[in-house]
């Protein structure tokens, strides 16, 4: 019983600290599997290639920006001719249809976003994401795994 109370206390304290950090320091917490679990800092500015953004409740990597050429194949997403790591369409799409294979040039206000998980709900299924769905830019402060943190970006 004491271990359970301690665990609940730690979880409650963590949620409170995360809430305060979000309110006063511009920090966000990601607990989804599409990006590494951790703390992320909200940053101002336009989305940039190799940056990250928060989509209301989701965080994704910006792999292509307006003007970039994106080619979608079963093997993955190619940006300006370069295959993005871990971007292949998984064999089991859980019944969801991937975005149509083909080549697309992103128009102003469109971004191609990918998560680090093969099951990530991202541009592999949604296609170009309009700027209006992007809530804010984020930068990893601490994550549970390296993922695409700045030092390990492909």
Higher pLDDT, 141 or 50: 50
Residues 118-146 pLDDT 10s: 788 899 999 999 999 898 898 887 777 65
Domain hosting residue 129, numbered range: 2-143
Average pLDDT over residues 56-84: 91
Task: Decide if 151 is inside a domain.
Answer: no
Task: Decide if 153 is inside a domain.
Answer: no
| Count of domains observed in the chain | 1
Q: With contact defined as beta carbons under 8 Å apart, do 17 and 11 qualify?
A: no
Task: Decide if 104 is inside a domain.
Answer: yes
Task: Decide if 97 is inside a domain.
Answer: yes
Structure tokens at 35: 């990006």
Task: Decide if 16 is inside a domain.
Answer: yes
Radius of gyration of the chain (CA): 17
- Distance in angstroms (rounded) separating the CA atoms of residues 57 and 117: 16
Structure tokens at 111: 């971004």
Q: How confident is the model at residue 16 (pLDDT cuts 50, 70, 90)?
A: low
What percent of the chain clears pLDDT 90, i.e. is strictly above it?
34
Domain CATH code at residue 34: 2.10.109.10
């Amino acid at each position: 019983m004491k271990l359970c109370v301690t665990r609940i206390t730690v979880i409650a304290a963590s949620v409170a600290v995360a809430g305060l950090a979000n309110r006063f320091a511009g920090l966000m917490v990601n607990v989804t599997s599409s990006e590494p679990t951790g703390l992320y800092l909200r940053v101002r500015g336009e989305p940039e290639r190799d940056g990250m953004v928060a989509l209301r409740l989701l965080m994704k990597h910006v792999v292509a920006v307006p003007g970039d050429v994106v080619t979608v194949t079963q093997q993955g997403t190619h940006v300006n001719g370069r295959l993005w790591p871990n971007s292949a369409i998984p064999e089991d799409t859980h019944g969801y249809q991937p975005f149509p294979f083909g080549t697309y040039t992103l128009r102003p206000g469109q971004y191609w976003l990918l998560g680090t998980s093969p099951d990530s709900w991202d541009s592999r299924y949604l296609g170009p994401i309009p700027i209006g769905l992007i809530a804010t830019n984020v930068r990893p402060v601490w994550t549970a795994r390296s993922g695409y943190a700045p030092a390990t970006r492909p």
